[in-house]
């Protein structure tokens, strides 16, 4: 049985904001199925009572003194943006026509 | 000019010596490397961007400072290549992705600031798999890098450009980043040295994030001593990285020099039982076993160590790293930097974002974003991401137990030598197997180094040495000892 269906891949692509083509869906569904079948054996490890590790460095609450240091200018920050207007990032419309 | 004529063949330590004694200027050294790039990079394609002007200006500045009698660092004036996933102020940085085509970062990564402070000369930015996802550079949006040992074969990945620039004598030193083996595996298949420092030992500030709990920048070179010299320049606490370890860096240069004396009396090496046979090419295992014998002759003691959970490292990695990547790569939304696609004035932000990401990202990046989104979805989280994090704990325990018995662990770096282009791209999982032996270290967070140890059918084999967290010096000692026994390996003339 397939671990992941073409429909699931389409849904995940939408959640990931990837406008995938039909061809891409066909390719990814098969490949992701192979990958998932291969990694699924992680479930074979008996680990119910094992605490998870999110990070190898056991540092928590790293503080530093609140010292003002030079930061980027507005011009530098906006320089790499694809569209800028009135010293701001310009974005496509967020609301639909009716809203 | 005789001292400078073959400067591209010299080690970084030798070049630094020439510059500090005044036998060669930094500008002469830099020019020689830029000329070499001009001569061979059309065939190798190690570089995505060569910063000729910036390099010559940096070199001239070093010469002026030396002329004034200023005290300069041990690598002042030495050229270096930097992987394109590291931000460089005003110099194009793309992570080999179309989505960042033409982007010039407004700031330097901490490790780049440290190179500049050390008076080092950045030649340019090296090719890689897109966003450091891959083991062959075939996933670069700008075309692959060719292995100088055989131009029809992969140079490893993701840092294939950095490793190839060393093997092609275009640069004596390079910067890489290692999330699952992206420094060590390219080192192995190009016959060069690559070290992944302890996670937190080198700053991630200014790295374009792939998997934040694993990403580690580190040094690449043609010799162990050069690797250690570069390690010493870039390592150390950085307040701009909250996971940076606030402890002194072990003296890796002294350790490399100690190892080069060829005495390993009293050093215990653990051979990872699970990595000593299955899945590896016979030629790789033969070179590995010969190297183990060479180390025994130098006085090392060999202990076989079982690390039972290492076999689950690859599955754990391919759940953890894509999960973190799916979150990290959300920042590429076509708003603040990079390209924007499909903004015709009618389409919504969400539509433009989806079109931008689909056209800007390559196939492997999309696969991993979708895989990570899946592993983090409710309903699958516990079975996949949660379970992978528990396995990460068990792998860490395997390492901790092993280091109670031995000083370092050893294995081949990668199961196979450089493979021909196209031979592993149709089945992504076959590509993932290239990192079988390198991944456990990333999940644990300790340091590891790959050093050339022999040839198999004329292609280089890498030997991996893994050490405990913040004991990076141990791996340099063993690596330098091995290098003293087996020598270095020179590719055929390009």
Q: What is the pLDDT of residues A42-65, one digit of tens each?
A: 999 999 999 999 988 877 888 888
pLDDT at B5 exceeding the cut of 70: no
Tell me, yes or no, whether A65 lies in a domain: no
What pLDDT, on a 0 to 100 scale, did the predictor assign at position B3?
47
Q: Does B318 touch chain A (CB under 8 A)?
A: yes
Global pTM value: 0.97
Only one residue has tokens 């199961």, namely B415
Catalytic residue of the set B182, B291, B323, B450: B182
Q: At B430, is the pLDDT very low, low, confident or very high (cuts 50, 70, 90)?
A: confident
Catalytic residue of the set B25, B97, B136, B158: B158
pLDDT at B33 exceeding the cut of 50: yes
CB contact under 8 A, B363 and A27: yes
Query: What are chain B's domains?
Result: 2-260 (3.90.1300.10)
Q: At B1, is the pLDDT very low, low, confident or very high (cuts 50, 70, 90)?
A: very low
- Quick check: is B83 catalytic? yes
- pLDDT tens across B283-322, in order? 999 999 999 999 999 999 999 999 999 999 999 999 999 9
- pLDDT tens across B75-113, in order? 999 999 999 999 999 999 999 999 999 999 999 999 999
Q: Does A46 touch chain B (CB under 8 A)?
A: no
Q: Which of A26, A35, A37, A75 should one mutate to test binding to chain B, selecting the residue with the greatest count of B CBs within 10 A?
A: A35
What pLDDT, on a 0 to 100 scale, did the predictor assign at position B441?
98
Tell me, yes or no, whether A89 lies in a domain: no
CB contact under 8 A, B367 and A34: no
Shortest alpha-carbon distance between residue A80 and chain B (Å)? 5
Q: Which of A34, A39, A85 should one mutate to test binding to chain B, selecting the residue with the greatest count of B CBs within 10 A?
A: A39
Q: At B7, is the pLDDT very low, low, confident or very high (cuts 50, 70, 90)?
A: very high
Q: Are A73 and B329 in contact (CB under 8 A)?
A: no
- pLDDT tens across B208-240, in order? 999 999 999 999 999 999 999 999 999 999 999
Q: Does A45 touch chain B (CB under 8 A)?
A: yes
Q: Does A2 touch chain B (CB under 8 A)?
A: no
Q: Which of A4, A9, A10, A19 should one mutate to test binding to chain B, selecting the residue with the greatest count of B CBs within 10 A?
A: A19
Shortest alpha-carbon distance between residue A68 and chain B (Å)? 13
Q: Residue A25: give the domain boundaries.
A: 6-44
Tell me, yes or no, whether A72 lies in a domain: no
Q: Which positions ≥6 away from B53 have C-beta within 8 Å?
A: none
Task: Report the number of distinct structural domains present in chain A.
Answer: 1
Q: Which positions ≥6 away from B408 have C-beta within 8 Å?
A: B267, B268, B269, B270, B465, B466, B467, B474, B475, B478
ipTM entry: 0.94
A chain contacts of residue B335, beta-carbon cutoff 8 Å: 81-82, 89, 91
Q: If residue A78 lies in a helix (H) or strand (E), which one and from where to where?
A: helix A74-78
Mean pLDDT, residues B150-179: 98
Query: Which candidate from B199, B339, B390 shows the least CB-CB separation from A50?
Result: B390
What pLDDT, on a 0 to 100 scale, did the predictor assign at position B2?
45
CB contact under 8 A, B369 and A18: yes
- Quick check: is B484 catalytic? no
Tell me, yes or no, whether A14 lies in a domain: yes
Q: Does A28 touch chain B (CB under 8 A)?
A: yes
The CA–CA distances, whole Å, from B289 to B185, B453, B462 equal: 19, 10, 12
Tell me, yes or no, whether A77 lies in a domain: no
pLDDT at B194 exceeding the cut of 70: yes
- pLDDT tens across B457-469, in order? 999 999 999 999 9
pLDDT at A99 exceeding the cut of 60: no
B chain contacts of residue A54, beta-carbon cutoff 8 Å: 213, 389
Mean pLDDT, residues A66-77: 93
- pLDDT tens across B341-384, in order? 999 999 999 999 999 999 999 999 999 999 999 999 988 999 99
Percent of chain B with pLDDT over 90: 96
Could you check whether the bond before residue B158 is cis, i.e. omega within 30 degrees of 0? Answer: yes
What pLDDT, on a 0 to 100 scale, did the predictor assign at position B429?
86
More confident residue, B436 or A99: B436
What pLDDT, on a 0 to 100 scale, did the predictor assign at position B173?
98
Structure tokens at B283: 């030629």
Mean pLDDT, residues B114-141: 98
Q: Are B269 and B303 in contact (CB under 8 A)?
A: yes
- Which of A:56-95 have CB within 8 Å of B? 56-57, 59, 62, 64, 72, 76-77, 79-83, 89, 91-94
Tell me, yes or no, whether A91 lies in a domain: no
Percent of chain B with pLDDT over 70: 99
pLDDT at B58 exceeding the cut of 60: yes
* Exposure b/e, B115-137, CB count within 10 A at least 16 = b: bbebbbbbbbbbbbbbbbbbbbb
Tell me, yes or no, whether A94 lies in a domain: no
What pLDDT, on a 0 to 100 scale, did the predictor assign at position A34?
93
What pLDDT, on a 0 to 100 scale, did the predictor assign at position B366?
98
More confident residue, B334 or B277: B334
Tell me, yes or no, whether A13 lies in a domain: yes
Shortest alpha-carbon distance between residue B162 and chain A (Å)? 26
């Amino acid at each position: 049985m397939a671990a992941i269906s073409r429909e699931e891949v389409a849904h995940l692509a939408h959640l990931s904001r990837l406008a995938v083509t039909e061809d891409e869906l066909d390719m990814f569904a098969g490949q992701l199925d192979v990958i998932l079948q291969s990694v699924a054996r992680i479930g074979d490890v008996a680990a119910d009572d094992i605490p998870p590790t999110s990070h190898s460095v056991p540092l928590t609450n790293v503080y530093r003194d609140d010292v003002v240091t030079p930061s980027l200018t507005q011009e530098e920050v906006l320089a790499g943006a694809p569209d800028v207007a009135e010293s701001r990032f310009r974005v496509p419309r967020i609301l639909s026509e009716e809203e | 000019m005789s001292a400078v004529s073959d400067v591209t063949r010299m080690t970084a330590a030798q070049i630094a010596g020439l510059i500090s004694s005044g036998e060669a200027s930094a500008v002469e050294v830099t020019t020689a490397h830029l000329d070499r790039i001009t001569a061979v990079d059309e065939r190798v394609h190690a570089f995505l961007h060569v910063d000729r002007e910036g390099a010559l200006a940096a070199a001239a500045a070093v010469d002026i400072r030396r002329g004034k009698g200023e005290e300069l660092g041990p690598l002042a004036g030495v050229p270096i290549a930097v992987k394109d996933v590291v931000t460089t102020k005003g110099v194009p940085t793309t992570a080999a992705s179309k989505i960042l085509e033409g982007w010039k970062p407004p700031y330097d990564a901490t490790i780049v600031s440290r190179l500049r402070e050390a008076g080092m000369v950045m030649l340019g930015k090296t090719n890689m798999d897109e966003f450091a996802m891959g083991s062959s550079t075939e996933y670069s949006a700008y075309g692959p890098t060719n292995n100088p040992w055989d131009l029809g074969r992969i140079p490893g990945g993701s840092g294939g450009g950095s490793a190839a620039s060393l093997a092609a004598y275009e640069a004596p030193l390079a910067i890489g980043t290692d999330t699952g083996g992206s420094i060590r595996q390219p080192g192995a298949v190009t016959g060069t040295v690559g070290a992944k420092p302890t996670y937190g030992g080198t700053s991630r500030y200014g790295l374009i994030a792939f998997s934040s709990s694993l990403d580690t920048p580190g040094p690449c070179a043609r010799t162990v001593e050069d690797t250690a010299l570069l390690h010493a320049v870039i390592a150390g606490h950085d307040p701009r990285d909250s996971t940076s370890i606030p402890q002194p860096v072990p003296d890796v240069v002294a350790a490399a020099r100690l190892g080069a004396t060829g005495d390993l009396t009293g050093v215990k090496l653990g051979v990872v039982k699970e990595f000593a046979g299955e899945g590896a090419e016979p030629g790789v295992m033969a070179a590995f076993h010969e190297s183990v014998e060479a180390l025994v002759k130098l006085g090392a003691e060999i202990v076989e160590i079982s690390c039972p959970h290492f076999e689950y490292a690859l599955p754990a990695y391919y759940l953890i790293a894509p999960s973190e990547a799916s979150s990290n790569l959300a920042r590429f939304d076509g708003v603040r930097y990079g390209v924007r696609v499909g903004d015709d004035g009618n389409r919504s932000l969400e539509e433009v974002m989806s079109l931008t990401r689909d056209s800007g990202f390559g196939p492997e990046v999309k696969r991993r974003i979708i895989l990570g989104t899946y592993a983090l979805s409710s309903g699958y989280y516990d079975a996949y991401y949660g379970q992978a994090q528990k396995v990460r704990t068990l792998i860490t325990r395997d390492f901790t137990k092993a280091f109670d018995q031995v000083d370092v662990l050893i294995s081949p770096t990668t199961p196979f030598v450089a493979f021909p282009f196209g031979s592993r791209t149709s089945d992504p999982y076959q590509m993932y197997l290239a990192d079988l032996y390198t991944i456990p270290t990333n999940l644990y967070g300790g340091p590891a180094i790959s050093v050339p140890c022999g040839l198999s059918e004329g292609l280089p084999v890498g030997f991996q040495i893994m050490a405990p967290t913040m004991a990076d010096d141990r791996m340099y000692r063993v690596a330098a000892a091995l290098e003293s026994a087996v020598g270095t390996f020179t590719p055929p003339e390009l």
